[in-house]
Amino acid sequence: MDIKNKLYQGQGIHVITALFTVIQGVTKVLLIKRKNEPFLGEWVLTGGALYNNEDLETGALREIAEKTGITDVKIKQFKAFGKVDRSPVIRMVAIGFIGLIDSKRVNILRETKNTSNADWFAIDQIPPLGFDHEEILQEAIIELRKEIVKTNILKSLFPSGVTLPELQKTYEAILNKKFDRRNFRKKILNLDLIEDTNQVDKFEGNKPAKVYKFKDQIEDKDIFL
Amino acid sequence: MDIKNKLYQGQGIHVITALFTVIQGVTKVLLIKRKNEPFLGEWVLTGGALYNNEDLETGALREIAEKTGITDVKIKQFKAFGKVDRSPVIRMVAIGFIGLIDSKRVNILRETKNTSNADWFAIDQIPPLGFDHEEILQEAIIELRKEIVKTNILKSLFPSGVTLPELQKTYEAILNKKFDRRNFRKKILNLDLIEDTNQVDKFEGNKPAKVYKFKDQIEDKDIFL
DNA sequence: TCAAAAGTGTTCGTCTTACACCCATGA
DNA sequence: TCATGGGTGTAAGACGAACACTTTTGA
């Protein structure tokens, strides 16, 4: 390989995470306002250039930690984005991740060295985004919907456990669909993603709900049986 | 973005395809013997450096065309591989693709400018591979198994149609599993991937089989109903 | 005792699995 | 007419959808 070959010289890698949360039944994504060129002043997803000394996931987690202070997110790589002109500076390929965090755990850094603002936006009320982040976000939403029915990715949203009614509201928010309570319970328990703790969650004035937690390990289902 | 920053200067992108075929009930992958450093003389998957003027898929297809002469393969991006030390020259991130081709259509170029040999290898008899291609191949096999039950990716293997007994042998080879003939028919037809043509395929000495073809468009199934 | 929210079971239709016989062809 | 391989149906169990009443709690 000739590292001076003009055909492929001067390339770079982005690691970009669509970081979701669910607040009061609304699915939201964290957006950051840029403080530098290119796309100065525009909103983008969490992310940036991958460093030479870190793996893809490590880089994505570093960017998340810089913007949110959160260090224990589960993220999942879902697709690479590499249109020739997706970045105006040099040829950049973006590796896209999704992740979920409990928004109550985050104190969003409103201003950092590279960003002038940050906030949660409902996924159906997204402003114009810089780079190709609108495309990345749309694919991220699809991936998120696939992941929550197959993996324990929602564990990051409920680190201390969740009741089935809460969980149902979360699924309904992310999938944008309503479920019958009885059928939801059967289905979600059949997915083998969560397990009963022996605690109950007391609210005022109504029957306490059982608390479940996401398993640490999910076994893969057989395909095509 | 400071393009001279040492933290992320001097990166590059690989596009790598695990190109599969099925020959007489055996799933095989195309491997190439390298003629240059690094990994001179070692076997690797089809691929190479992405050029600055091409999208990811375009680059992967160019590499396939250079090695096989085939230009109408369906490929699917499935994962990026970015361990810090996966390439010994400069920091390279690989974008992994899978694809299928009918081996009868290929005259493998045994010798090209960059490669000294090329051949099909059964996926359970793979020699040591250069770079991180063993890892890429293992994940590619898993992806292939998922794809053939959800998409028309097998269309490239049977451009002129296929009978159900042929198709069953193919699924059995790729999934490494046997099926009951009657149940296989029901299941595959239910997947809505193929449709009846009104032709039959005559062999000698037995009942002619109906010919089906893969649809061009597969509609996505609802998740979680 | 009431309001609010959680918990639970049954029926029906559809899909999954296991399993055996008939059909069309060329030799 | 026979050997080879292709095509089809049915019964039993599992899963998905629709649907209503009972339980627990605090006010």
- B58-85 pLDDT tens trace: 999 999 998 888 898 999 999 999 999 9
Quick one: tokens of A99?
């992740």
- A106-158 pLDDT tens trace: 776 666 667 778 999 999 999 999 999 999 999 999 999 999 999 999 999 99
Amino acid present at A196: D
> Which bases of strand D have any atom within 7 Å of the beta carbon of a protein residue?
3-10, 15-20, 23-27
> Which bases of strand C have any atom within 7 Å of the beta carbon of a protein residue?
3-10, 15-20, 23-27
Q: In terms of DSSP bridges, do strands B11-23 and A194-201 run parallel, antiparallel, or are they unpaired?
A: unpaired
Q: Do B49 and A91 count as a contact with CB atoms less than 8 A apart?
A: no
Angstrom distance, A148 CA to D12 C1'? 33
Could you tell me the pLDDT band of residue A168, with boundaries at 50, 70 and 90? very high
Topology (CATH level 3) of domain B153-214? Arc Repressor Mutant, subunit A (1.10.10)
Least confident piece of the model among A83-92, A215-224, B18-27: A215-224
Q: Give CATH 3.90.79.10 domain extents, chain A.
A: 6-150
Q: What is residue B224's predicted lDDT score, i.e. its pLDDT? A: 77
Nearest nucleotide, CA A187 to C1' = D16
Chain B: residue nearest A143 by CA?
B223
Angstrom distance, A177 CA to D19 C1'? 19
At A96 the three-state DSSP class reads: strand
Angstrom distance, A200 CA to D12 C1'? 40
CATH number among 3.40.50.720, 3.90.79.10, 3.30.70.1140, 3.30.465.10, domain B6-150: 3.90.79.10
Cα separation, A130 vs A136, in Å, equals: 11
Could you tell me the pLDDT band of residue A72, with boundaries at 50, 70 and 90? confident
Percentage of chain A lying above the pLDDT 70 cut: 96
Q: Give CATH 1.10.10.10 domain extents, chain A.
A: 153-214
Q: Give the E-state strand segments of chain B in sequence order.
A: 11-23, 26-34, 43-49, 75-81, 91-100, 115-122, 162-163, 194-201, 209-214
Q: How far is A153 from chain B (nearest CA, A)?
A: 16
Chain A: residue nearest B150 by CA?
A224
Q: How far is B171 from chain A (nearest CA, A)?
A: 10
Quick one: tokens of B2?
């400071």
Nearest nucleotide, CA B182 to C1' = D8
Nearest nucleotide, CA B205 to C1' = C26
Angstrom distance, A48 CA to D2 C1'? 73
Q: How far is A1 from chain B (nearest CA, A)?
A: 7
Q: How far is B200 from chain A (nearest CA, A)?
A: 27
Residues B196 and B213 sit within 8 Å (Cβ to Cβ): no
Q: Do A52 and B10 count as a contact with CB atoms less than 8 A apart?
A: yes
Could you tell me the pLDDT band of residue A205, with boundaries at 50, 70 and 90? confident
Could you tell me the pLDDT band of residue B203, with boundaries at 50, 70 and 90? confident
Q: pLDDT averaged over chain A? A: 93
Cα separation, A176 vs B38, in Å, equals: 50
Q: Do A223 and B50 count as a contact with CB atoms less than 8 A apart?
A: no
Distances (CA, A) of A178 to A8, A124, A181, A184: 49, 17, 9, 10
At A123 the three-state DSSP class reads: coil
Q: DSSP H helical segments within chain A, as ranges?
A: 56-68, 133-148, 164-175, 181-190
Contacts of A149 in chain B (CB under 8 A): 223-224
Q: Do A84 and B187 count as a contact with CB atoms less than 8 A apart?
A: no
Closest CA to A123 of A52, A6, A20: A20
Contacts of B13 in chain A (CB under 8 A): 8, 11, 13, 82, 93
- B90-144 pLDDT tens trace: 999 999 999 999 988 877 666 666 677 889 999 999 999 999 999 999 999 999 9
